[in-house]
């Protein structure tokens, strides 16, 4: 296997230059929300807000707003709300995974234990949903609540289907759309709504977000298999150990002969002897990673189609650019 | 110490006879909500819904509706929403406390582990907040979200102040109102609003719920000290071990001499040697439990005052009866 020198990480180089000033205002707005908590609770919330994220959801909201006229406070606000929900899920994810660091700093559970972290996630969650009522639009509240519910249900389904080799690709895509797509979709879709866009445009932006979220997740799946830890900056090759059936593995199972499937099943379910480098090698040899990348790139093509409803301007170009950027990250996973 | 033969438990004999038919419809509505979850998730939600609760929050909503005219589907619905939030907090509480049984059946975390239980609580939570948008009233969504946020923040504050002997009584009451009062208050207050009551009536019903919630919590505090496990049906004398400073203990600390306070501090903070029966004996001897009961009964008096805004009918009498019932449970904690 050739050494990969340029390997994609969860890069901070998302093409968000255009919205940098907006994202700075988003940070200010997030700090403001932190102060809305009781003084006894605030330090915990503050820690979580300071240690997480690329702010992809706010960026999608602000760029959609910009593409459809002008990004304003409402677009930043919906971005903040969805980002708070995202942060709540990260806090809870870290409990579930027993993770002790995220982005090089201790997780909330590592610092204060699982109990406080469960509650901290809940507080962020309920605050975000309350903040959504500021819009005085029941439809926005409903869609924010729906997105939050999708994320939670997606996470449950993923947890529940660990080590379950009957998982179909359709189910896989459903889980990815719920887990990651729902908040991306809400960011782009609700931003369009806030710009007064037609239902058709709102729907297409929603779909753009949903697909982009699924692609982001597929990229994460491929990275876990073929990435280089030093470059990526996090522990890799953990998905299979946790029983998470990713798209490359589903591809491998799909194309396996009966005898091969039996071998794979034994390796995945019994964990032992699970020689991960060998399994990765097989997955690549059989083109299972390639096919996952192809699937993701098809979805990115649909993302570009979705964006065709937007006028051509700097912001809509930046939304295309995000899709292209994800495409280039995926390409780097090919060997 | 004399043996107590008639000892209050978390009795199922709340005076809810009048609303029994409504509460049966509430159960039907809860089951209906269970079916709204993805089929993969539904069995977990169903388990939690089947194993929890006296449905106090729905009862308060339905009785308030009845007192102000007629209890209808809306009153039951707000009851269901608040009950789902309550259930979500119970699922998360059981994780935090490491509880393995609740109401004689295994907790969600005991059955499926902490990870799935974190997510299950989140799913219930987000579903409840989404369901609130059915009312098409931003004000109701806001108040439901606010109540959920109060509960979470109250729980964080309680967790954070464990073993903290600087906790004041004001802070204690604030935590009790947030933790238990907020949902009771939302149940009675929002039910009044749904009946088209004036803001004044809504506010008084909100206050009734807030105080009733605080009393319920004080009763729980006293019970933990003086209750008999066999009668109460749950493990008692755990509050102090967990560092939870309850009202009787705060009373004891307040009236202690400097020397006594030093002894108490050493016992509570160092845990060892914490001879609980002796501490309970001291608390009773010093009248610390008595004074907690007196405080709770004062609050119940204010509850009755709050209810004076209601017309005199069967339902408003039942709301008085709930306050009287809690009073009688408290009286049984006197020795």
Q: What is the CATH number of domain A17-331?
A: 1.10.600.10
> What are the φ/ψ torsions at residue A274 (nearest 5 degrees)?
-105, 90
Q: Please tell me which of the candidates A145, A152, A161 has its beta carbon nearest to residue B119.
A: A152
Measure A179 CA to nearest chain B CA, in Å.
12
Judge whether B136 is closer than 8 Å to chain A, CB to CB. Answer: yes
Output the average pLDDT for chain B: 89
Nearest chain B residue to A136 by CA: give it.
Answer: B138
Measure B253 CA to nearest chain A CA, in Å.
22
Question: What part of A 41-70 touches B (C-beta under 8 Å)?
Answer: 41, 44
Q: Please tell me which of the candidates A119, A145, A155 has its beta carbon nearest to residue B152.
A: A119
Tell me: the pLDDT tens digits for B99-137? 888 888 899 999 999 999 999 999 999 999 999 999 999
Q: Which range among A92-106, A259-273, B68-82, B227-241 shows the weakest confidence by mean pLDDT?
A: B227-241
- Of residues A103 and B71, more confidently modeled: B71
For residue B230, CA distances in Å to A76, A174, B10, B13, B224 come to 56, 48, 12, 17, 13
In this model, does residue A12 exceed pLDDT 60?
no
Q: Please tell me which of the candidates A114, A123, A153 has its beta carbon nearest to residue B156.
A: A123
Tell me: the pLDDT tens digits for A237-293? 778 778 889 999 999 999 999 998 888 888 777 766 567 778 888 888 889 999 999
Mean pLDDT of A122-148: 95
Interface probe for A, chosen from B113, B153, B172, B182 (most Cβ of A below 10 Å), is: B153
Nearest chain A residue to B129 by CA: give it.
Answer: A145
Measure B67 CA to nearest chain A CA, in Å.
29
A121: chain B residues, CB-CB within 8 Å: 118, 122
pLDDT reported for residue B229: 72
In this model, does residue B1 exceed pLDDT 50?
no
Domain ranges of chain B: 18-331
Q: Is A73 exposed, middle or buried (0-12, 13-18, 19+ CB in 10 A)?
A: exposed
Judge whether B142 is closer than 8 Å to chain A, CB to CB. Answer: yes
Contact across the interface for A141 and B138, Cβ inside 8 Å: yes
Judge whether A99 is closer than 8 Å to chain B, CB to CB. Answer: no
Judge whether B166 is closer than 8 Å to chain A, CB to CB. Answer: no
pLDDT band for position B15 (50/70/90)?
confident
pLDDT band for position B233 (50/70/90)?
low
Nearest chain B residue to A113 by CA: give it.
Answer: B96
B86: chain A residues, CB-CB within 8 Å: none
Mean pLDDT of A102-120: 90
Q: Which range among A119-123, B257-261, B321-325 shows the weakest confidence by mean pLDDT?
A: B257-261
pLDDT reported for residue A146: 96
Q: Is A196 exposed, middle or buried (0-12, 13-18, 19+ CB in 10 A)?
A: exposed
Measure B37 CA to nearest chain A CA, in Å.
8
Mean pLDDT of A319-325: 95
Contact across the interface for B159 and A96, Cβ inside 8 Å: no
B37: chain A residues, CB-CB within 8 Å: 153
- Of residues B75 and B236, more confidently modeled: B75
Q: Please tell me which of the candidates A38, A40, A157 has its beta carbon nearest to residue B38.
A: A157
Measure B24 CA to nearest chain A CA, in Å.
26
Measure A296 CA to nearest chain B CA, in Å.
25
Q: Please tell me which of the candidates B88, B116, B148 has its beta carbon nearest to residue A159.
A: B116
A138: chain B residues, CB-CB within 8 Å: 133, 135-138, 141
Q: Please tell me which of the candidates A116, A129, A156 has its beta carbon nearest to residue B116.
A: A156
In this model, does residue A301 exceed pLDDT 60?
yes
Interface probe for A, chosen from B42, B91, B125 (most Cβ of A below 10 Å), is: B125
Q: Where are the alpha helices (DSSP H) in chain B?
A: 20-35, 42-50, 56-67, 73-97, 108-131, 138-160, 169-176, 182-194, 199-226, 229-232, 247-255, 258-270, 276-285, 288-306, 314-331
pLDDT reported for residue B274: 62
Q: Is A170 exposed, middle or buried (0-12, 13-18, 19+ CB in 10 A)?
A: exposed
Mean pLDDT of B230-246: 78
pLDDT reported for residue A271: 65
Q: What is the CATH number of domain B18-331?
A: 1.10.600.10
- Of residues A46 and A233, more confidently modeled: A46
Residue B37, CB-side half-sphere exposure with 13 Å CA sphere: 31
In this model, does residue B6 exceed pLDDT 60?
no
Measure A225 CA to nearest chain B CA, in Å.
24
Residue A3, CB-side half-sphere exposure with 13 Å CA sphere: 4
pLDDT reported for residue A8: 41
Q: Please tell me which of the candidates B127, B145, B160 has its beta carbon nearest to residue A133.
A: B145
- Percent of chain B at pLDDT > 90 equals 64
Structure tokens at A329: 């990250």
In this model, does residue A11 exceed pLDDT 50?
no
Q: Please tell me which of the candidates A121, A141, A161 has its beta carbon nearest to residue B133.
A: A141
Contacts of B221 (CB under 8 A, 6+ apart): B239, B246, B247, B248, B292
pLDDT reported for residue B268: 78
CA distance A15 to A17: 6
Contact across the interface for A92 and B122, Cβ inside 8 Å: yes
- Percent of chain B at pLDDT > 70 equals 94
Select, from the ranges A17-26, B23-32, B189-198, B248-257, the one with the highest average predicted confidence (pLDDT). B189-198
CA distance B115 to A218: 23
| Location of structure tokens 């037609």 | A198
Mean pLDDT of A107-135: 93
Nearest chain B residue to A39 by CA: give it.
Answer: B157
CA distance B297 to B215: 8
Tell me: the pLDDT tens digits for A178-191? 999 999 999 999 99
Nearest chain B residue to A96 by CA: give it.
Answer: B115
Nearest to A159 by CA among A97, A249, A225, A221: A97
Contact across the interface for A156 and B115, Cβ inside 8 Å: no
In this model, does residue A230 exceed pLDDT 50?
yes
ipTM for the complex? 0.86
Mean pLDDT of A213-223: 94
* Interface contacts A/B by beta carbons within 8 Å: 143
pLDDT band for position B8 (50/70/90)?
very low
Nearest chain A residue to B141 by CA: give it.
Answer: A133
Mean pLDDT of B224-250: 81
Residue B125 DSSP label? H
Mean pLDDT of B205-228: 93
Nearest chain B residue to A171 by CA: give it.
Answer: B40
CA distance B32 to B22: 15
**Under a CB-based contact definition with an 8 Å cutoff, are residues A189 and A202 in contact?**
yes
**Under a CB-based contact definition with an 8 Å cutoff, are residues B82 and B127 in contact?**
no
pLDDT reported for residue B273: 59
Judge whether A232 is closer than 8 Å to chain B, CB to CB. Answer: no
Q: Which range among A224-233, B34-43, B65-74 shows the weakest confidence by mean pLDDT?
A: A224-233
In this model, does residue B23 exceed pLDDT 90?
no
pLDDT reported for residue B120: 94
Tell me: the pLDDT tens digits for A18-76? 888 888 888 998 999 899 888 888 999 999 988 768 899 999 999 999 999 999 999 99
Nearest chain A residue to B97 by CA: give it.
Answer: A115
Measure B270 CA to nearest chain A CA, in Å.
20
> What are the φ/ψ torsions at residue A63 (nearest 5 degrees)?
-70, -40
CA distance B218 to B213: 9
pLDDT reported for residue A176: 96
Measure A45 CA to nearest chain B CA, in Å.
11
Measure A212 CA to nearest chain B CA, in Å.
23
Output the average pLDDT for chain A: 89
Judge whether B119 is closer than 8 Å to chain A, CB to CB. Answer: yes
pLDDT reported for residue A233: 67
| pTM of the model as a whole | 0.90
In this model, does residue B164 exceed pLDDT 80?
yes
Mean pLDDT of B295-310: 98
- Of residues B234 and B207, more confidently modeled: B207
């Amino acid at each position: 296997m050739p050494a990969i020198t340029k390997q994609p990480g969860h890069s901070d180089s998302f093409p968000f230059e255009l919205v940098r000033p907006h994202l700075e205002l988003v940070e200010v707005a997030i700090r403001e929300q932190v102060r809305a908590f009781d003084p006894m609770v605030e330090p915990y919330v503050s820690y979580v807000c300071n240690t997480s994220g690329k702010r992809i959801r706010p960026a999608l909201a602000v760029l959609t707003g910009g593409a459809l006229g002008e990004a304003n406070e409402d677009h930043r606000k919906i971005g903040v709300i969805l980002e708070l929900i995202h942060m709540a899920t990260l806090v809870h994810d870290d409990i579930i995974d027993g993770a002790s660091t995220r982005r090089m700093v201790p997780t909330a559970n590592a610092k204060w234990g699982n109990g406080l972290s469960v509650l901290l996630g809940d507080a962020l969650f309920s605050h975000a949903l309350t903040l959504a009522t500021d819009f005085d639009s029941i439809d926005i509240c409903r869609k924010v609540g729906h997105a939050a519910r999708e994320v939670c249900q997606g996470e449950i389904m993923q947890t529940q289907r660990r080590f379950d080799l009957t998982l179909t690709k359709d189910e896989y895509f459903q889980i990815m759309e719920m887990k990651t797509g729902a908040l991306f979709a809400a960011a782009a879709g609700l931003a369009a709504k806030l710009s007064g866009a037609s239902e058709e445009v709102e729907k297409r932006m929603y779909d753009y977000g949903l697909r982009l979220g699924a692609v982001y997740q597929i990229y994460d799946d491929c990275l876990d298999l073929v990435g280089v830890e030093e470059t990526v900056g996090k522990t890799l090759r953990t998905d299979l150990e946790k029983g998470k059936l990713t798209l490359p593995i589903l591809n491998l199972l799909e194309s396996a002969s009966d005898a091969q499937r039996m071998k794979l099943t034994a390796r995945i379910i019994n964990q032992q002897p699970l020689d991960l480098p060998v399994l990765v090698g097989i997955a690549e040899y059989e083109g299972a990673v390639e096919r996952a990348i192809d699937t993701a790139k098809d979805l990115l093509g649909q993302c570009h189609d979705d964006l065709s409803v937007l006028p051509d301007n700097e912001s809509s170009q930046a939304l295309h650019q995000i899709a292209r950027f994800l495409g280039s990250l995926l390409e780097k996973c090919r060997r």
